[in-house]
Amino acid sequence: MGGAEELTILTYPDPVLRVRAEEITNIDEGLIDLAESMIFTMYRAPGIGLAANQVGALKRIIVFDRSPAKPGASPQILINPEIVAREGKIVHDEACLSVTDFSAEVTRSDKVRVKGIDGDGKQIEIDAEGLLSVCLQHEIDHLDGILYIDHISSLKRALYKRKLKKILSGD
């Protein structure tokens, strides 16, 4: 056993966040170690979801927690997740561990059905709505190199880029 370790979360504009992660064909010990470290890192941050791109691993795996109020209670692993159905609309104020010091309202599907493989290698389907649905869409976007700020207006995005520039230059 490798054991869980805290991983470094890459932040915008790191180019790795823009790369499409690859399909996972083999669930081996290395992958389970990665998942466990991702869960550890997610709780440490703290966040309710994390995609492998965010820790520099270009593999299609996400972790999330349905009940963030009780950290450690129900961490979930989803491998090769895929949205197979969507319904309705929801507007939610989103933030991301890779997009520091910012949040913005994003419109997404209210309900999604997501197919994938769990940590035991079993094919599963999740019917999600509300916050869990938003979380899954946000994390699956990461695997395709998409950030939530891609879904907001160009004006708001420009505002964030200016703010980030200021932060990075230490003004």
User: C-beta of 1: minimal distance to Ni ion in Å?
Assistant: 28
Q: Based on CB atoms, which residue is closest to Ni ion, 19 or 123?
A: 19
Interaction residues for Ni ion, span 66-95 (CB under 5 A): none
User: C-beta of 35: minimal distance to Ni ion in Å?
Assistant: 17
Q: Is 140 a binder of Ni ion (CB under 5 A)?
A: no
Picking from 66, 11, 1, 14, the residue whose alpha carbon sits closest to that of residue 39 is: 66
- Length of the chain, please? 171
> Which among 5, 6, 129, 139 is annotated as catalytic?
139
Is 29 labeled as catalytic in the residue annotation? no
Q: Which of 34, 57, 96, 136 binds Ni ion (CB under 5 A)?
A: 96
CA dihedral 21, 25, 26, 30 (to 10 degrees): -10
Coil, strand or helix: which one is 71? coil
User: How far is Cα of residue 154 from the mean position of the Cα atoms in its chain?
Assistant: 22
Determine the residue with CB nearest Ni ion. 96
User: C-beta of 27: minimal distance to Ni ion in Å?
Assistant: 23
Check: CB of residue 134 under 8 Å from CB of residue 108.
yes
Per-residue x/- track, 109-138, Ni ion (CB under 5 A)? ------------------------------
Classify residue 51 as exposed, middle or buried by CB count within 10 Å of its CB (0-12, 13-18, 19+).
buried
**Residue 49: HSE in the Cβ half-sphere, 13 Å Cα cutoff:** 22
- Total residues at interface with Ni ion (CB under 5 A): 1
User: C-beta of 105: minimal distance to Ni ion in Å?
Assistant: 15
Provide the annotated active-site residues: 139
Q: What are the residues binding Ni ion (CB under 5 A)?
A: 96
